[in-house]
Structure 1
């Protein structure tokens, strides 16, 4: 059994200049990023690189069509390395770009996985503290022609280098921090419960949980001004969670969040939070043993509550960071819930394989109804 996958070489620099000097950025490099990130932090460094700004190709989370248009323009640059500097959208597109074929067709990439071939050296630098995507080989796209989100995955999609730069988080809007860091917390919890978890991955999972919860507690007391000094902690915690789920995988929470995010364009971390505690409470109603008991006791120790009420207490804390909404508040109609449940069973078996309990379509529907 695989114990832990540690594929990219991991680097850490305090500033963007330190990174650009160490990696000797030049004319064979393509930087895929956002203008609001690049110009204030890299624009004054005199870098002779190609740039593509993701927002010029569409807003929101990545779609297959957005990625295809970027692939076509990237091919015109003649670059050797792709450097992704951004959040989940930029990073996911860069991973697909790294294995893009000449036709720049996302459907062909999905059909070819996992036997994808790397076309460009890939460097990933996260600017949020949630995806952990810098150390995983999966990218998630809204497949607009199918109406759901699906993962694109393959060994060639690992970055060659993952780079952590705390300076990039200093200007992160609090709302983006909230959705991304809750995503990291869900990664950590789901990977701890996965049947593919090991002593190595759980070490990363539990440390990430602790760092995130302790950070949230500080923010709940001190307010948003506490975030900047905690940037390094949240960046590392996100990375730890990424290492954990990169081997152990995520489960039912992510599987059930994808139809909500895909149809109603809810940010990924927020859609996870909408589902998270509902799944965990349902798990508790079905099983009270194994790793779930360990997770619950660990969280109860951090939150100062009884294990039986741990997810109510966790929700109270998380609501200081991002108020939870019922599914109906996103515009979901009750009659759509069976459609969502069917989509989960049909399209998300890769994730459901990591569920703490076996998930049937009926059980998925019951959880959606509880959260409606």
Structure 2
């Protein structure tokens, strides 16, 4: 079967990569809109202004992406783009500003509501984009996806299209050095989810398999170190590499049940994406194992959780236990510990299960997934 493999057009990696990529940034256009959060701009504004002032005669800033992006934030960013006469975009921050940048780019060339793109392939020509992640997790800098919440329906919309691939991705691990411990955990576990789901997806292919195994091994080894010591340069560099690998994987092999079930939790209860993935990870993988013992087993052996002569079943279960331990090490809260009211959650289960199936992601799981299965997993999050 023929497989297609795509990623960002140009990728810069390495400690200090941002400062070394000025020429490539300057080739984006004449006047960019910088899409970021207020916190990131406050922390990095001086550094970024020095760089962008060398690259462009002028630029504009939209720093309104302070939570996971919504359609109203995108409208605000689009207004800033048009008002300032911009012709390209730079996203800098976690996954939210990078996703927002992509959605704003779509809006610059089409007046249709973002919701109209659900389930369709976005095409056409959009402004050039540069994606600069400051966390190691989402992989948005190398994917054709963006996740935007529809405030009218409380649905996290998965929008996709090859045109959403950034022209330039700059993965500089030094930018993640000050990432808070909780964000390091959530984004790192998001990257792990990407790697495991891409490897066990029905759409997996040889190129993504190699990257997924590599990313999984890196994360199990280095996420605990980055979590315990944010100044550990080696751990930060390895996690940046793992997140990049995992992002390339999901761009080509997609995700499965965890992401499908995670988005509704984020949309309804405002749980950060990586954290909602982490809350679901053990339970969802436990459900998925019977459809794919061989592939889960490969990962279990790759991380050293199982011996080379273990059976696929033994190695798959060893992987599951390793995931459970990593989530414990990173202090992942349950929905209840996070502050979600049990009855509010239970009352939303039917909608969340339906939205999860509608997203299409669970359909990539190598085991049939129904809305009833999703509902049972949601309820199980409240079991001791």
TM-score, structure 1 length as denominator? 0.89
**Aligned residue in 1 for 2:329:** 320
Determine whether 1:336 maps to 2:345. no
The CA deviation at 1:162 is: 1.2
1:99 alignment partner, SS class? helix
1:124 alignment partner, SS class? strand
**Aligned residue in 2 for 1:213:** 220
- C-alpha spacing 1:100/1:360, structure 2 compared with 1 (3 Å): same
Deviates more, 1:73-82 or 1:299-308: 299-308
1:301 alignment partner, SS class? coil
**Aligned residue in 2 for 1:260:** 265
Deviates more, 1:324-333 or 1:29-38: 324-333
The CA deviation at 1:97 is: 1.8
Deviates more, 1:21-30 or 1:307-316: 21-30
How far, CA to CA, are the matches of 1:8 and 1:165 in structure 2?
A: 17
What CA deviation, in whole Å up to 9, does each residue of 1:280-330 have, x standing for no partner? 11223x346332332333345379996334323322222222323145752
- C-alpha spacing 1:42/1:278, structure 2 compared with 1 (3 Å): same
- Is the CA contact (8 Å cut-off) linking 1:122 and 1:159 kept in structure 2? yes
**Aligned residue in 1 for 2:209:** 202
The CA deviation at 1:219 is: 4.8
The CA deviation at 1:12 is: 2.7
Q: Which runs of 5+ in 1 are unaligned?
A: none
How far, CA to CA, are the matches of 1:367 and 1:300 in structure 2?
A: 28
Q: 1:32 aligns with which of 15, 26, 35?
A: 35
The CA deviation at 1:339 is: 2.7
- C-alpha spacing 1:277/1:300, structure 2 compared with 1 (3 Å): farther
- Is the CA contact (8 Å cut-off) linking 2:109 and 2:126 kept in structure 1? no
The CA deviation at 1:45 is: 4.2
Deviates more, 1:327-336 or 1:237-246: 327-336
TM-score, structure 2 length as denominator? 0.86
How far, CA to CA, are the matches of 1:242 and 1:367 in structure 2?
A: 26
Deviates more, 1:171-180 or 1:291-300: 291-300
**Aligned residue in 2 for 1:63:** 70
Q: 1:114 aligns with which of 121, 133, 136?
A: 121
**Aligned residue in 1 for 2:299:** 295
Q: Which runs of 5+ in 2 are unaligned?
A: none
**Aligned residue in 2 for 1:187:** 194
- Is the CA contact (8 Å cut-off) linking 1:3 and 1:201 kept in structure 2? no
The CA deviation at 1:364 is: 1.2
The CA deviation at 1:105 is: 5.0
> What is the aligned residue count?
365
Q: How does 1:329-368 map to 2 (within 5 A)?
A: 329-333=339-343, 334-345=346-357, 347-349=358-360, 351-368=361-378
Q: CA RMSD in A?
A: 2.6
- C-alpha spacing 1:214/1:40, structure 2 compared with 1 (3 Å): farther
How far, CA to CA, are the matches of 1:130 and 1:273 in structure 2?
A: 12
- Is the CA contact (8 Å cut-off) linking 2:7 and 2:165 kept in structure 1? no
Q: How does 1:208-247 map to 2 (within 5 A)?
A: 208-219=215-226, 223-225=228-230, 227-247=232-252
Determine whether 1:138 maps to 2:145. yes
Determine whether 1:272 maps to 2:277. yes
- Is the CA contact (8 Å cut-off) linking 2:60 and 2:84 kept in structure 1? no
